[in-house]
Amino acid sequence: MATQKGLVLFEGTLGGINFYYRKGKAVARKAGGGFNGKAIKTKPSMIRVRENNSEFGHCSRIKKEIRMALFPFLMYYKEGTLHGRMMQLFQGIKNCDAISERGQRTVGKGISSPEGHKLFNDFKFTPKCFIASVVPMKASYNPVSCVYSVADFNINLVRFPKSATHLELQFGVLGTDFESIYTLFMAPVLIFEKGIEVADFTMTPTTLPDVGLHRFAFVGVTFYQELNGIKYVLRADGNIGVEVVEG
Question: Are residues 144 and 209 located together in one domain of the fold?
Answer: yes
Residue 96's Cβ-side half-sphere holds a number of Cα atoms within 13 Å equal to: 20
Is residue 38 in a domain?
Answer: no
User: Which of 58, 91, 122 marks a domain boundary?
Assistant: 122
CB 210 within 8 A of CB 134: no
Question: Are residues 111 and 138 located together in one domain of the fold?
Answer: no
Is residue 185 in a domain?
Answer: yes
Is residue 107 scored above 50 in pLDDT? yes
In the structure, what pLDDT confidence band is assigned to residue 199 with cuts at 50, 70 and 90?
confident
In the structure, what pLDDT confidence band is assigned to residue 1 with cuts at 50, 70 and 90?
very low
Rg (CA), the chain: 25
Question: Are residues 48 and 117 located together in one domain of the fold?
Answer: yes
pLDDT for 3-30, tens place per residue? 545 544 555 666 667 766 666 677 677 6
The burial of 139, by beta-carbon neighbours within 10 Å (0-12 exposed, 13-18 middle, 19 or more buried), is given as middle
3-state helix, strand, coil in the chain (%, to 5): 30, 30, 40
pLDDT for 110-155, tens place per residue? 999 999 999 999 999 999 999 999 999 999 999 999 999 999 999 9
Range of the domain at 167: 131-245
Question: What's the number of domains the chain is made of?
Answer: 3
Is residue 86 in a domain?
Answer: yes
Is residue 70 in a domain?
Answer: yes
Q: State pTM to two decimals.
A: 0.80
Q: Which has the higher per-residue pLDDT, 47 or 143? A: 143
Nearest alpha-carbon partner for 134 in 229, 234, 247: 234
Residue 81's Cβ-side half-sphere holds a number of Cα atoms within 13 Å equal to: 9
- The H-assigned helical ranges of the chain are 37-42, 47-69, 71-74, 82-94, 107-110, 114-122, 131-134
Nearest alpha-carbon partner for 172 in 131, 112, 215, 140: 215
Question: Are residues 73 and 49 located together in one domain of the fold?
Answer: yes
Question: Are residues 107 and 83 located together in one domain of the fold?
Answer: yes
Q: For residues 174-191, give the mean pLDDT.
A: 96
Return the DSSP state at 100: S
In the structure, what pLDDT confidence band is assigned to residue 43 with cuts at 50, 70 and 90?
low
Question: Are residues 184 and 240 located together in one domain of the fold?
Answer: yes
* Plot region of 165 (φ>0 → left; ψ -120 to 50 → alpha; else → beta): alpha
Nearest alpha-carbon partner for 19 in 35, 2, 39, 38: 2
Q: For residues 69-90, give the mean pLDDT.
A: 96
Is residue 159 in a domain?
Answer: yes
Question: Are residues 207 and 237 located together in one domain of the fold?
Answer: yes
CATH of residue 153's domain is: 2.60.40
Q: For residues 201-216, give the mean pLDDT.
A: 94
